[in-house]
Structure 1
Amino acid sequence: MDSFRVLLVEDDKVQRELLTELLEEEGFSVASASSGERALDLFRKERYDAVITDVRLPGMSGLELLQKLKELEPSVEIIVITAFSSVDDAVKAIKMGAFHYVTKPFEPEVLLNLLRKACKLRLLSKPSRECCGLVYSSKVMENLINQASLFARSDAPVLITGESGSGKELLARFIHRESRRKVQFVAVNCGALPKELFEAELFGYEKGAFTGATSSKKGLVEEAEGGTLFLDEIGELPLELQPKLLRFLQEGEFRRVGSTKLRKASVRIIAATNRDLKRMVKDGKFREDLYYRLSVLTLNILPLRDRPEDIPVLIEHFLRKYSKKYSKKVRITLEALELLLAYSYPGNVRELENLIHRLVILSRGEVDRALLTSFMNLTSPSVSFTPDLSKPLPKVIEEVERAMIEEALRRANFVQTRAARLLGIDEKSLRYKRKKYGI
């Protein structure tokens, strides 16, 4: 549940600090207040996914605070903390729209479980947006789309960075659609073409330019005239070919292979890469002047694991898409959804789409945890481990367990909630084992 913002309202300083520490250990982003008035001030300045408040507060009561928060943001999930003797207040809170309540004293795990459920409900209730195939609900993606829309008004080159499968070409197509250059969108994968053919494919060739050139042919630059040329995986372009692309970017001029005639083309360049071009420039693998020509405007798409709010709406989108394709009604159980939300998706949106596609094909109307784990290793992190047979068995078992915990934490970006789900144990057990092994 990393990136979820929680507002904690508790007048007892010791209790407030203990609860803040507990929630932050679980990956929540926490702001705290000692009174209802202070909580309202914080809430007006920044929205929160969930609020945890004590009923008994100095000045404004927890119930009054609940009412005012619901007026400001009806969809916010609120958990009320109450003494056992004041359960009536908890019942009132539920009637007023609180998500749930806990009575003092309570086990930390009880509160954490309620908060996780509240955040899942918050996730599922968020509206999705769609632009040129990009489906999202997160603020970070909304900001990215707004920035891309602004860039679309210019003809300056745009460099889009991001991991494989994150949606770089979809973003490029969005920029093209929003721009004045709404004619052709021509895409070329710089890593897929053999280097001896790249120049001919990009700039075209004349009849007889090489063996097999039986007629003249336009290149991709000419095909994109008046539109957009999308150079995907630009970081894979061989160093010896980079000057030819640079000349075209500088002058807007080129020559077909086998010709001395200078030609001009008016195209908008958008490039994309999953490589660190600045590092490649430093290592002498990418021309510095070409890098600066391509990166007049830059956009970076975050990996899916860093925008978990988008995962539920993407799941729903792909579920609808493939259910319609195969004329099937498919639902995902809460247990399966928890597992899907806990996964880190190294292959990003492309991996998630592929996963949902397979699930729809394999399911008989319902996707549950058993179906997920039957064909995907989502629950047990793979660990390469060769046991030392000179050691006693208990010691070897401890080493394997430690290695699995470390791998699960790594895959879950060190968010304990997600790591515990991947290991199939509860968080209390994981905390104990981390302390035991000093992880």
Structure 2
Amino acid sequence: MSESFYPAFAILAVDDEAAWLRSVSLTLERAAGITHLLTCQDARRVMEVLDGNDVGVVLLDLTMPHLSGEDLLGRISVEHPDVKVIVVSGMNQVETAVRCMKLGAFDYHVKTEEEDRLVAGVLRAVRMQELQRENGEMTARFMSGELRNPEAFAGIVTQDRTMLTLFSYVEAVARSPQPLLVTGESGVGKELVAGAAHRLSGLPGKLVAVNVAGLDDAVFADTLFGHVRGAFTGAEQPRRGMVEEAADGTLFLDEIGDLSVPSQVKLLRFLQEGEFFPLGSDRPKRVKVRVVAATHQDLAAKERAGMFRRDLYYRLRTHRVRVPPLRERREDVPLLLDHFLGEAARQLGKKKPTPPKQLAQLLMTHDFPGNVRELRAMCFDAVSRHRDRVLSMDAFLEAIGRHGNGAHPAAEEGQNPFGVVERLPTFDEALELLVQEAMRRSGGNQTLAARLVGISQPALSKRLKSYRR
């Protein structure tokens, strides 16, 4: 397992008792996975430590020699207002607690309390600090309007403004330990967004992808959490699950909307506690892993219908992006066409063909129900059939004819588009409307418009001239 620190910022424990510092360090690491911890026994050195380190949370004792905790709390509040200070005192006094809160303390705990309460308080402070830093990071990114690491998105071909804004958001939240939910129709490239988020995360571990669609509860648990020897018949050797494989990295859960309710419970517990039980084991394991989930389904609708747990839904959507379908970014079609023709030529060992000038315009009239994946398949099919220097449009026309136009239900096979019209147009009116629509979709290109309506270019030109009279 790769060694890393959690959280990204340090937690500073201040107390003149070395034994308590050792105890709280072990408790936070064992119970919360917190390993980024600094300790200080001399209250006079605290400000020096804060000035020289990125500290997000301070655990502060009140009764110390040389400098009291209350005096130190006041200085921290003034000089480091972003730092969350949790007072941990041996005195259970309401007046003292009220004074500390007025001085700017985030929380107040008594040393004799159960350690679980202190751990929960520290985790609340860590989460608050993470959210504030993420918000500040996102604001700075959006204000600048520029990507700091555009190379992370090199695999996503686009010039669309919505996509570039999506990149800025992913870049801003990439280092957050909280889950990222990526939604969008099938074929839009959700896995590419997950890969970019992992590359930007700075995590030393690897990206591990799991498609959870169709996994029953037992297979899901074994796939994610592994098993010990003898956990079930045939389990002759222990096996690490995908969670451990992704330790200190990113776990990408694709098709999360298909997860069964029992499996949702197991996933929720892991996200909340950061620990899991391999099948057949009663000893929990703890790992740090960033979860990115993706789905083409409407999780909000599934949650309302009782098919997806509300607590898991809101846990997963801490950060979320929607990848737009290709029909909402048609300007990307020429770029993607050129990219996929080159990719297909390389993989098939051919010279990259020259596409006809009308091809990109033709494809921009199609709504691509299969999105980018559909366009890629079209290009590979066309290049595999290519023989001459100029690429034939026939493969694309056949594909568009087979798939139809997914955005217009009225145009589905077997359904009359005039069935919902109150007054039927005359034959000449219908033909004129058809020609006008073909010219609109082709961007004024008569050759392409003629192909769309199945007539010759001279015949179309003749009709257009007659309409202008």
TM-score band by shorter chain is 0.5 to 0.7
Unaligned runs of at least 5 residues, structure 1: 1-127, 388-394, 434-439
* Paired AA for residue 384 in structure 2: I
Shift of 1:339: 1.3
Question: Which of 441, 456, 459 is 1:417 aligned to?
Answer: 441
Distance 1:129 1:362, change over 3 A: farther
- Aligned pair in 2 of structure 1 residues 383, 178: CA closer, same or farther (>3 Å)? closer
Is the CA contact 1:332–1:368 (under 8 Å) kept in the aligned structure 2?
Answer: yes
Question: Separation in 2 of the partners of 1:348 and 1:380?
Answer: 13
Select 2:244's aligned residue among 222, 225, 234.
Answer: 222
Instruction: Kindly report which structure 2 residues correspond to 1:366-405, keeping only aligned pairs within 5 A, or say none.
Output: 366-374=390-398, 376-377=400-401, 383-385=412-414
C-alpha distance 366-263 of structure 1, shift in aligned 2 (>3 A): same
Contact 2:361 2:443 in 1 (8 A): no
Distance 1:369 1:297, change over 3 A: same
Percent same amino acid among aligned pairs?
A: 39
Q: Deviations over 1:152-191 (max 9, x none)?
A: 1211111011111101110001010011214210111110
* Equivalent position SS for 1:367: coil
CA distance in 2, matches of 1:129, 1:335: 31
How far off is 1:383 after superposition?
A: 4.1
* 3-state SS in 1 of match to 2:306: coil
Q: What do residues 236-280 of structure 1 show as CA deviations (whole Å, max 9, x unaligned)?
A: 001121111000000001100111011111000111111111100
Task: Please say if residues 331 and 367 of structure 1, whose CA atoms lie closer than 8 Å, have aligned partners that are also in contact.
Answer: yes
Q: Is the 8 A contact 1:303 1:348 kept in 2?
A: yes
- Give the letter for the 1:385 counterpart: G
Task: Please give the per-residue CA displacement for 1:312-363, whole angstroms capped at 9, x wherever unaligned.
Answer: 1111111111222222230110122221121111111111111111111111
Q: How does 1:197-216 map to 2 (within 5 A)?
A: 197-216=219-238
SS across alignment from 2:231:
coil
2:321 is aligned with 1:289: no
Unpaired runs of 5+ in structure 2? 1-149, 406-410, 417-423
2:133 counterpart residue number: none
1:237 aligns with 2:259: yes
Calculate the aligned-residue CA RMSD, in Å.
3.4
TM-score, with structure 1 as normaliser: 0.59
Number of residues paired by the alignment?
Answer: 289
Match for 1:154 among 176, 195, 199?
A: 176
Mapped to 1, the partners of 2:300 and 2:415 lie a distance apart of 38
Distance 1:367 1:286, change over 3 A: same
**Secondary structure in 2 matching 1:134:** coil
Please name the residue that 2:124 is paired with. Answer: none
Aligned pair partner of 1:352 in 363, 366, 375: 375
- CA distance in structure 2 between the partners assigned to 1:302 and 1:149 by the alignment: 18
Deviations 1:281-335 (A, max 9, x none): 0000000000011110111100011011111111111111122222223011012
The answer to whether the aligner puts 1:327 opposite 2:364 as a matched pair is no
Q: From the superposition, tell whether residues 350 and 370 of structure 1 become closer, same or farther in structure 2 (CA, over 3 Å).
A: closer
Asked if 1 retains the 8 angstrom alpha-carbon contact of 2:378 and 2:396, the reply is no
Instruction: Tell me by how many angstroms 1:137 deviates.
Output: 1.2
1:131-166 C-alpha deviation (Å, 9 max, x unpaired): 241111111111111111111121111101111110
Q: Secondary structure at the residue paired with 1:354? A: helix
Would the aligned equivalents of 1:132 and 1:170 in 2 still touch at CA under 8 Å?
Answer: no
In 2: Cα distance, 1:193 partner to 1:132 partner: 32
2:361: which partner in 1?
338
Q: Which amino acid aligns with 1:329?
A: K
Equivalent residue number for residue 112 of structure 2: none
Aligned-pair CA distance for 1:370: 3.4
**Residue 188 of structure 1 aligns to a residue in which SS?**
strand
**271, 276, 281: which one aligns with 1:259:** 281
1:361 to 384, 388, 411: 384
CA contact (8 A) 2:160 2:331 kept: yes
Report if the CA contact (8 A) 1:372-1:378 is conserved: no
CA distance in 1, matches of 2:463, 2:246: 59
Q: Partner amino acid for 2:187?
A: G
> How do 1:3-402 residues align onto structure 2 when only pairs under 5 Å count?
131-325=153-347, 326-364=349-387, 365-374=389-398, 376-377=400-401, 383-385=412-414
- SS of structure 2 residue aligned to 1:366: coil
* SS of residue matched to 1:315: helix
For 1:282 and 1:327, the matched residues in 2 are separated by 51
For residues 230 and 428 of structure 1, the distance between their equivalents in structure 2, rounded to whole angstroms, comes to 57
Distance in 2 (CA, whole Å) between partners of 1:380 and 1:237 is 31
Larger strand fraction of residues: 1
